[in-house]
């Protein structure tokens, strides 16, 4: 059984959390457990949807994969000293992924230092990546070892595919994504470095 944790926070971007949640939940439940964790037990999205979380941030420590969503609240979480204390990750045994501003959370934890990374194209996020020792690049998906970042909300589909491939294999990833792909689509990631 693989355990995937999605890290969220107040003012998260709806699509970046819910798209990943839905796609990961399409994996056979006997093979994969998916949880949303946050600093607070209830969080509210940037559009006003409030959800109950499944556990605290510290639950990410034991996950096989940790997926950081994005949103305006990512900046406050990245600057929160309790965040780094609660979330200690080990990329030698965990798959780490971030969409858009979620990349600054990986950066705040030290997992982007010396690496290329991508994020939503805004100057403040690029500045934060540079401050974390990363080299910002303009790409939909950037992978290095067990760490990946993606830019723009719909790149989350390829980021999810990458995570599933790392945890299982490409056939499981493609089969999972195919359940949501447009009718007639092959579900392949043309040009993605998986």
pLDDT tens column, 117-137: 999 999 999 999 999 999 999
Query: What is the reported pTM?
Result: 0.93
**pLDDT at 183 (0 to 100):** 85
Domains and CATH numbers, the chain: 2-178 (3.40.50.880)
Give the per-residue pLDDT at 16: 97
DSSP annotation string for the chain: -EEEEEE--TTB-HHHHHHHHHHHHTS-TTTEEEEEE-SSSEEEBTTS-EEE-SB-GGGGGG-SEEEE--BTHHHHHHT-HHHHHH----TTTSEEEEEGGGHHHHHHTTSSTTSEE---S-HHHHHHHHHTT-EE---SEEEETTEEEE-SGGGHHHHHHHHHHHHS-HHHHHHHHHTTSPTT-----TT---
Per-residue pLDDT, averaged over 175-179, amounts to: 95
Is residue 42 within 8 A of residue 51, CB to CB? The reply is yes
**pLDDT given for residue 29 in this prediction:** 87
Average pLDDT (23-34) is 95
Confidence at 186, pLDDT banded by 50, 70, 90: low
Q: Please write the tens of the pLDDT for every residue from 103-112.
A: 999 999 999 9
Q: Does 189 have pLDDT greater than 80?
A: no
């Amino acid at each position: 059984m693989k355990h995937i944790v999605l890290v969220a926070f107040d003012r998260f971007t709806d699509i970046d959390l819910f798209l990943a949640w839905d796609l990961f939940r399409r994996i056979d439940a006997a093979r994969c457990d998916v949880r949303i964790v946050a600093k607070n037990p209830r969080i509210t999205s940037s559009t006003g949807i409030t959800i109950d979380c499944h556990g605290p941030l510290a639950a990410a420590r034991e996950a096989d994969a940790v997926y950081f969503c994005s949103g305006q609240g990512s900046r406050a979480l990245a600057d929160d000293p309790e965040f780094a204390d609660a979330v200690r990750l080990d990329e030698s045994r965990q798959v780490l992924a971030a969409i858009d501003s979620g990349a600054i959370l990986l950066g705040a934890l030290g997992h982007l230092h010396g690496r290329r990374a991508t994020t939503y194209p805004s100057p403040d996020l690029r500045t934060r990546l540079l401050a974390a020792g990363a080299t910002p690049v303009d790409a939909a998906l950037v992978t290095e070892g067990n760490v990946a970042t993606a830019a723009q909300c719909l790149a989350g589909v390829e980021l999810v595919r990458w995570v599933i491939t790392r945890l299982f294999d490409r056939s499981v990833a493609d089969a999972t994504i195919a359940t949501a792909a447009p009718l007639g689509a092959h579900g392949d990631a043309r040009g993605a470095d998986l």
